[in-house]
Copies of this chain bind each other. A is one copy, B any other.
Amino acid sequence: MKNQNTKIRIKDIATMAGVSEGTVDRVLHERGEVSEKSREAVQKVLDEINYSPNLLARSLASKKHYHFACLIPMHKVTDYWESVEKGFSQAAIDYLHYNIHIERKYFNQFDANSFVDVSKELVKSQPDAVIMAPIFRNETLAFTKELQQLEIPFSFIDSMIEDADFLTYYGQNSFQSGYIAAKLLLNSLPDAAQVLVLRTDRKGAVSNQTIARINGFMSFVSENKLSNIELIHLEMNDENEDANREILSDVFSKNTNIKAAITFNSRVYRLANHLEILQHADVRLIGYDLLQKNVDYLKQDIVSYLIAQRPEKQAYFTIRDMCAKLIQKQSITKINYVPIDILIKENIEDYMQFGE
């Protein structure tokens, strides 16, 4: 019941405080050049009434331009990161008249040097704020340190490095999502069932997120003392699909009781495809993220569950919060875990439709 905005304008405040509109403006924006006497008079009125500025008028009148730079992995249009980009685009549209400009920069997520190079370029364009996916821990820390010296605020998306002094983080609680994946996947499996646990080799680059997800997964397993099932860990190759199929074929010939499988990234569609070809389509599958191919397999009942994390929202809200913080000086929440959405064949349709 507090937000009772009775439409008080700057003009009114000026009258009440017995000063000019310009003075009120100076107090509001802490521009200085105000005598202590009139500052107090204005502040008093400001505290009494519950002034909330007309944001429409404010951004209409404001001449300031804001330049946000986004630093995310380069990707194909079918990839997870494309959803993130959609969020940026939507924010760019919605906040168009706030005079914001969103610049995108891409790095190779399998090459830390690429991140370093692109981040250096990025600084040159002197952005007002930076949004990045902190895939490489050390390189990110070096970069954020530089940003801090330049007094450029930054936010993390998708994953987070706690040591850095970021503005916001939007992303999933990865540990928890691995835990949930385990619960869904291992729930009431027959005795002595075998479960494939797949990782993807990334040329030595370690993804924080994947590790956290696996930890969550294993945590569920040990907490529930699932001694009746057998986990089979496999390493997939990110490029050589024939080799992958070979590996899988091999595993299935040696193990006849495989009932379930999980990938900790968005590549479950590949697994589904292999199993389809190898005629093991009845294995319970679970994976992450709503790539079109994943969704297709979910609808065909070949994938049983997908876990989603609202990537568009992550991107959109990150921009929104930057506007709130930088332009409107509002306070924002630092760490924002997005919901861990459980998608099955039956609820995927409405979920996708509803979009944002």
Contacts and interface: CB of A to CB of B under 8 A. Distances in A.
Nearest to A55: B97
Nearest to A220: B346
Interface in A321-353: 336-342, 344, 346-347, 350-351, 353
Contacts of A180: 344, 346-347
Interface stretch (A56-64, A197-205, A269-277): A56-64
A13 to B, nearest CB: 17
Tell me which of A55, A179, A354 has the highest count of chain B C-beta atoms within 10 A of its own C-beta.
A354
A96 interface: yes
Contacts of A346: 176, 179-180, 183, 340
Contact of A338 (B60, B176, B187, B354): B354
B344 A341 contact: no
Interface residues of A, number: 33
A311 to B, nearest CB: 14
Contacts of A172: 350
Tell me which of A5, A60, A179 has the highest count of chain B C-beta atoms within 10 A of its own C-beta.
A60
Contacts of A354: 336-339
A148 interface: no
Contact of A54 (B60, B176, B183): B60
A96 B8 CA distance: 13
A93 interface: yes
A3 B93 contact: yes
20 contacts: A5-B96, A54-B60, A54-B97, A56-B59, A56-B97, A57-B97, A172-B350, A173-B350, A180-B344, A180-B347, A183-B344, A187-B187, A188-B188, A337-B353, A339-B347, A339-B350, A339-B351, A340-B350, A342-B342, A342-B347
Given A176-B350, A337-B353, 9 more contacts: A56-B59, A173-B350, A176-B346, A187-B187, A339-B347, A340-B347, A340-B350, A342-B344, A342-B347
